[in-house]
Amino acid sequence: MSKRIIDGKTYNTETATRLAKEVFAPTGFGGEFDDLYQTRHGVYFRHHGNWGSVGPSGEPLEIINPLSPHEAQKWMEEHEFTTLLEKHFGPQPEAGEAESRITLRIPDALKNQIENLASKNRQSLNAWIMRCVENCAMQ
């Protein structure tokens, strides 16, 4: 258990929820750790250090750093916790250029036909139409 008071706020590994754990070069005598926690009030913090090192008072070297939501998001990205990242920050945009929206007016019969084709291909209507347009644009 580690507890620190920083800027008048308590960060306690015993009462917070550990979201992710990273261990680097664990040995019988030490190793580095870097854990991500969230308090019950939604604030993120890192608990990290080295089991083999001790602080000035002889206690194990453990550091607690409060994180902004943006910093927590970056930590999750850097440590490749994709599922956790999307759970806390929602789906992330796909890499690529910016998207634009267009409106296309088509007869209902055609709309029904392409909805059925998209469904058969296990694609959303938008994805199916986009693939069709991409194929036409490459000709």
Query: Which pLDDT value is given to residue 54?
Result: 65
Which whole number is the average pLDDT over 4-33?
85
Query: Which pLDDT value is given to residue 55?
Result: 65
Query: Which pLDDT value is given to residue 56?
Result: 67
**Which tokens is 55 given?**
């602080």
Query: Which pLDDT value is given to residue 106?
Result: 94
Question: What residues does each domain of the chain span?
Answer: 3-89, 108-137
| pLDDT tops 70 at residue 30 | no
- The architecture of the domain spanning 3-89 is Roll (3.10)
**Is 95 or 114 the better-scoring residue by pLDDT?**
114
Query: Which pLDDT value is given to residue 23?
Result: 77
| pLDDT tops 90 at residue 20 | yes
Query: Which pLDDT value is given to residue 105?
Result: 94
Q: Which letter, b or e, does each residue of 107-134 get, where b requires 16 or more Cβ atoms within 10 Å of its Cβ?
A: eeeeeeeeeeebeeeeeeeeebbeeeee
